[in-house]
Amino acid sequence: MKSIPDLAPLEAVLFDVDGTLCDSDPLHYQVYCEMLPEIGFNNGVPIDEEFFIKNLAGKHNPDIAVLLYPDDIPRGLKFMEDKEERFRRLVLENLPPIKGLYKLTKWIKDCGLKRAAVTNAPKQNAELMISKLGLKEFFDVVILGSDCKRAKLYPDPYLKALEVLKVSKDHTFVCEDSVSGIKAGVAAGMPVVGLTTRNPESVLKEANPTILIKDYEDPKLWEALEELDKRRG
């Protein structure tokens, strides 16, 4: 897999949304902790963060519905609808951007790069979060996992983003924060910048990101982008 500087001249940057643009995982976790005991999941014992990271974070809702209600999928899907409605109420109250996000989006705009949001989140969630962050005009397109044949961890959503933007995987990188998201970007043939927003470095490393950063102010990211600039001339 190429390094970030090897992508010169860079054409596009693709972003996941939850946990990548904003620190939304604590909100999802809070809602699951409130709602899962209500349906008797795990014998009514609240889930811990480890279970959330491994089984729920970054996953596609229909897959979570199967996990929660293997024998009653429609009920599982209804549970997920209710969960997302509660999540959106929390988003309206507070949605912190990842540190340094606007520094990176400014750099991307200044470079004249194409950009897409690529997410497994339901459409209403994705639109609300992007709007709340003031990035509605920033993204050229929003690609939803539900609009693709297969959602992440498969590469389909990222491949669709490349197709829509008319850019090459050889001149594009991905920003992601979950194992399934990183795997999707890698499977689509692109270098992935992995964010350790909530997921431990040791867990994310298994998915083979090109670099791991704490947030968008991390010197590792800017060293790579400066080198990219130099190679672009």
Task: Give the pLDDT band (50/70/90) at residue 2.
Answer: confident
Residue 29 has pLDDT above 90, yes or no: yes
Distance CA 70, CA 64 (A): 9
What pLDDT is recorded for position 116? 99
Residues catalogued as catalytic: 16, 18
What pLDDT is recorded for position 199? 84
Show me where the domains of the chain are located: 5-24+98-232, 25-93
Q: Which residue shows structure tokens 């990219």?
A: 228
What pLDDT is recorded for position 198? 82
Write the DSSP assignment of 124-155 as a string of letters: HHHHHHHHHTT-TTT-SEEEEGGGSSS-TTSS
What pLDDT is recorded for position 64? 95
What pLDDT is recorded for position 94? 92
Superfamily of domain 5-24+98-232: HAD superfamily/HAD-like (3.40.50.1000)
Considering only CA atoms, which of 119, 82, 100, 111 is closest in space to residue 195? Answer: 100
- Please state the rounded mean pLDDT for residues 80-84: 97
pLDDT, tens only, 37-69: 999 999 999 999 989 988 998 788 999 999 999
Task: Give the pLDDT band (50/70/90) at residue 186.
Answer: very high
What pLDDT is recorded for position 220? 97
What pLDDT is recorded for position 183? 97
Task: Give the pLDDT band (50/70/90) at residue 28.
Answer: very high
Neighbours of 233 (CB within 10 A): 6
Query: Cα dist. 53→25, 81, 129 in Å?
Result: 9, 20, 20
pLDDT, tens only, 141-185: 999 999 999 999 999 999 999 999 999 999 999 999 999 999 999
pLDDT > 70 in the chain, percent: 100
pLDDT, tens only, 100-152: 999 999 999 999 999 999 999 999 999 999 999 999 999 999 999 999 999 99
What pLDDT is recorded for position 1? 78
Residue 16 has pLDDT above 80, yes or no: yes
Strand locations in the chain (E): 12-15, 114-119, 141-144, 172-176, 192-195, 211-213
pLDDT, tens only, 193-215: 999 988 889 999 999 999 999 99
